[in-house]
Amino acid sequence: MSADNAMESRNNRDPRVSADAPLLEARGLRKHFPLRGGVLQRTYAWVRAVDDVSFDVYPAETLGIVGESGCGKSTLARLILRLIEADAGTVRFDGQDVRGAAPPQMKRLRRDMQLVFQDPYASLNPRLTIEDAVAFSLLVHGTRAAEARERARALLGRVGLDPRLYGRRYAHELSGGQRQRVNIARALVLDPKLLVLDEPVSALDKSVQAQVLNLLADLKAERALTYVFISHDLNVIEYVSGRVMVMYLGEVVETGTADALAQAPKHPYTQALFASAPSMDPDRRMDRPPIAGDPPNPIDPPSGCRFRTRCAFAMEQCAQAPPALRPVGPGHEAACYLFS
């Protein structure tokens, strides 16, 4: 299948040696959410959802972002698309400053970057037929109603929902997998360059997951799309991504090609993640969990390296200051004092 070939060629590519300029550049992104309470609604604490996150996404690649729930993946997705305002940092898309864009410029930028949501139930308006839901974005950008509907119907057909059967249906009449196909069609109807996929298959059954993942791979090849693929499922991330970025408590702990990370994960957290992923190989199975307990509360993260409270290799140094990302191989970086 075309999907497999596309997947392989991407896996072997090191984007850092490519001459392309990055499509998306994020630098030092930070978002802290205030927790308010009491009569005066005073801020008594901050949730450090995303802390100083930088990365590049190159044209036509798939960047996988993986981490436990609550590590700031979804917040990061919304920061990239400016659905929430960052506290600090910059996002550049195709060389244009996203955070500083004025409303008309922002509206134009939004055509090029779209988001597919996690929850197939909350992400579709129950009062709109699915063709209207898909056509809405076109209407926003001034396409005439008849043409918008025509394009929406064509795209529904492309994602596997026959418009003659499904076009006039409401979201509640569809299954989770079908709704996710509608979400993909809605995201693609503006012909974006970048698609941010926030856990697009996490709510689906395994068999449906595979269908949707294959659809995404086909669409990517057809339309020369660039994906930022967010998931907590390492198997899915390994399957779809060329490069992977591992997040822990709002920080990036390791980045590298999917192959490098799978074969030689450097950061103890990445190692633990890979060790805990279910494997088909009986020799790779283990009887003890490689990592204990839940992640600490992001309201009051540990000093220094945020992983040190669960890390088997924690040293004195780890509590002092957070380690910076350092190269540990070609196109491979890890934030850990073991490699300094």
Interface residues with other proteins (CB under 8 A) are 2, 78, 81, 83, 106-108, 110-111, 114-115, 117-119, 121-129, 133, 136-137, 139-141, 154, 157-158, 160-162, 165-166, 168-170, 172-173, 175, 177-178, 181, 183, 186-187, 190, 207-208, 211, 218
The number of helix segments (H) and strand segments (E) in the chain equals 11, 12
Rg (CA), the chain: 21
| Nearest distance, CB of residue 123 and other proteins, angstroms | 4
| Nearest distance, CB of residue 291 and other proteins, angstroms | 30
| Nearest distance, CB of residue 50 and other proteins, angstroms | 17
Of 118 and 241, CB closest to other proteins: 118
Of 45 and 208, CB closest to other proteins: 208
Of 52 and 218, CB closest to other proteins: 218
Q: How far is residue 146 from each of residues 139, 141, 142, 167, 264, measured CA to CA in Å?
A: 10, 14, 12, 14, 53
| Nearest distance, CB of residue 37 and other proteins, angstroms | 15
Specify burial of residue 285 (Cβ count, 10 A radius: 0-12, 13-18, 19+).
exposed
Of 174 and 318, CB closest to other proteins: 174
Report how far residue 252's alpha carbon sits from residue 54's, in angstroms, rounded to the nearest whole number: 8
Of 81 and 244, CB closest to other proteins: 81
- Neighbour tally for 39: CB within 10 Å: 5
| Nearest distance, CB of residue 219 and other proteins, angstroms | 10
In the block, tokens 């990302």 appear at 325
| Nearest distance, CB of residue 238 and other proteins, angstroms | 24
Nearest to 53 by CA among 230, 232, 296, 311: 230
| Nearest distance, CB of residue 275 and other proteins, angstroms | 33
- List strands edge to edge, sheet with 42-57: 42-57, 24-37, 88-93, 96-97
Report how far residue 74's alpha carbon sits from residue 80's, in angstroms, rounded to the nearest whole number: 10
**Collapsed DSSP state (helix, strand, coil) of residue 236:** helix
Of 215 and 311, CB closest to other proteins: 215
Q: Is residue 240 within 8 Å of 216, Cβ to Cβ?
A: yes
Angle at CA of residue 56, ends 242 and 122, nearest 5°: 75
Of 27 and 82, CB closest to other proteins: 82
